Amino acid sequence: MSNFLAGTFDTVRKSALDAARRALPQRCELCASASGACIICKDCWRALPWLGRACSICALPTAAGELCGQCLAHPPAFDATIAAFAYAFPVDRLIHAFKYQGRLSLADWCADAILAAGIQAQSCLIALPLSEQRQRERGWNQAAEIARAIAAKTRIALLKAGVRRVRATPPQAALPWPERARNVRGAFACDVALDGATVAVIDDVMTTGATLAEFARTLKAAGAARVENWVVARTLP
């Protein structure tokens, strides 16, 4: 069996386990108290590191929610970023469990967090594509799982084809921040005409924003009028 199929069966098996788990009264993922049908109990949900006032373009915290100096001086290709949390404990742990341990039920939790951060209707949702190689290795794309959950909850159309990663780039995490923009240049292609569409790009964590900026540039070249990033968490410098 190829790796790709192995990954797919693994994903199907995990989804079934997750569905079974959801049907039963749950224990909070963080404090183990009874949490009904939710993965995280209400008290822990409230205590998560919600992002407060922030620059509306890049979601980095600013004193009164004004635009940050960097976005004023060098506006990125995207127009706005909605981020639910700062990428800090315990959100980092939950996202890690979702992404690398295949806890697919957390996709729903990620979608709820993004919706709670206050989003507006868009023409369509697009998940940030993974390279084919990385998708094969992991068996699935975490951004696509979150996008699917948001589409189901909001009924915003999810664009599934025609947008791809054409160049596998070294993992951004391995690079110093200034080199990340260069690393992702030309990484994406869009074969759909997005004439005048407003697009929300879904991803799990926004780190420097270099990858999302390059993706927004690609979408605007394909005709998108406005591009927002909807992410679960924002890494703070």
- Give whichever of 169 and 229 is closer to Zn ion, judged by the CB atom: 229
Which residues of this chain interact with Zn ion, rule CB under 5 A?
28, 30-31, 41, 44, 55, 57-58, 68, 71
As a whole number of angstroms, the distance between CA 84 and CA 113 comes to 6
Mapping DSSP to helix (H, G, I), strand (E, B) and coil, where does residue 142 land? helix
Spatial distance between the Cα atoms of 63 and 42, rounded to a whole number of angstroms = 28
Task: Classify residue 206 by its DSSP letter.
Answer: E
CB of 27 to Zn ion, least distance (A): 9
Whether the CA torsion 32, 38, 41, 45 is positive or negative: it is positive
User: Between 7 and 76, whose beta carbon lies closer to Zn ion?
Assistant: 76
Query: Least CB distance from residue 213 to Zn ion, whole Å?
Result: 11
- Closer to Zn ion by Cβ: residue 83 or 200: 83
Closer residue to Zn ion (CB): 68 or 225: 68
Nearer to Zn ion, 68 or 189 (CB): 68
Query: Considering the complex, what minimum distance in angstroms separates the CB of residue 230 from Zn ion?
Result: 16
- For residue 128, the tally of other CB atoms under 10 A from its CB is 23
Q: What is the DSSP string of 75-115?
A: --SSSEEEEEEES-TTHHHHHHHHHHS--TTHHHHHHHHHH
Radius of gyration, alpha carbons of the chain = 18
CB 206 within 8 A of CB 55: no
**Least separation in angstroms between CB 229 and Zn ion:** 12
Write down the least CB distance from residue 134 to Zn ion, Å.
28
Q: Of the two residues 74 and 155, which places its CB atom closer to Zn ion in the complex? A: 74
Neighbours of 193 (CB within 10 A): 11
Closest separation in Å from C-beta 76 to Zn ion? 8
Least separation in angstroms between residue 56's CB and Zn ion is 8
Q: What angle do CA 169, 220, 71 make, to 5 degrees?
A: 80
User: From CA 181, how far away is CA 216, in angstroms rounded?
Assistant: 13
Provide the token pair at 197. 């569409």
Specify the residue, 44 or 110, whose C-beta has the smaller distance to Zn ion. 44
